[in-house]
Amino acid sequence: MDIRSTETEDWMLLRQVRLAALWDAPTAFGVSYQTAADYTDEQWKVRASSTGTAFWLAFEKDRPVGMIGAAVNSAQRFNMIGMWVEPAARGSGVAIQLVETVKVRATSEGFDRVFLDVSPDNARASNLYLKQGFAFMDEWEPLESHPHITVQTMLWIRS
């Protein structure tokens, strides 16, 4: 398994994986499939360049099978976003490696905490994050892409 950060030239791979994620799990992300599908090539190039939000792709041989992103928000929280692994690769350890990649980036940038939002109804994701040392906080908000879904914040603190 190879996990690497995206660069501008990876924009088509990032687009492919992100759209696959949104198609597979439309209510798990803060953006809708249609919104992402409507991004221009230039918008995808900016996303892949890691300007602002950083993205990583997980590769099995030369094929991307997962992704994760991270960004610091206006409250100076290091946030993990957009985590997804294709169904055929789930349970293989890819997700654990992706989460670990974000933890390493956070600590290398001087952050001792990583935040994420997840629907408590998404048991598979919630359990993964709990096993990776995240804990639920008493913070809730509507999911931007699907406001009828409420997500809960989880927090990992470096020990």
pLDDT at 7 > cutoff 90: yes
> What is the pLDDT confidence band of residue 52, given thresholds at 50, 70 and 90?
confident
Q: Please, what is the average pLDDT of the chain?
A: 95
pLDDT at 67 > cutoff 80: yes
Quick one: which H or E segment has residue 3? strand 2-5
Give the phi and the psi of residue 113 in degrees, each rounded to 5: -140, 145
pLDDT at 36 > cutoff 80: yes
> What is the pLDDT confidence band of residue 120, given thresholds at 50, 70 and 90?
confident
- Three-class secondary structure of residue 8 per DSSP: helix
Q: Which has the minimum average pLDDT: 14-23, 45-54, 77-86?
A: 45-54
Name the nearest CA neighbour of 122 among 8, 29, 14, 35.
Answer: 29
The two tokens of residue 96 are 């654990």
| Full DSSP string of 75-136 | T--EEEEEEEE-GGGTTTTHHHHHHHHHHHHHHHTT-SEEEEEE-TT-HHHHHHHHHTT-EE
The pLDDT value given to residue 4: 96
Burial classification of residue 46, based on how many CB atoms lie within 10 Å of its CB (0-12 exposed, 13-18 middle, 19 or more buried): middle
pLDDT at 50 > cutoff 80: no
The two tokens of residue 20 are 């696959």
Mean pLDDT of 84-90: 96
The pLDDT value given to residue 121: 83
The pLDDT value given to residue 66: 98
pLDDT at 51 > cutoff 90: no
The two tokens of residue 122 are 């998404």
Please, what are the domains in the chain? Answer: 2-157 (3.40.630.30)
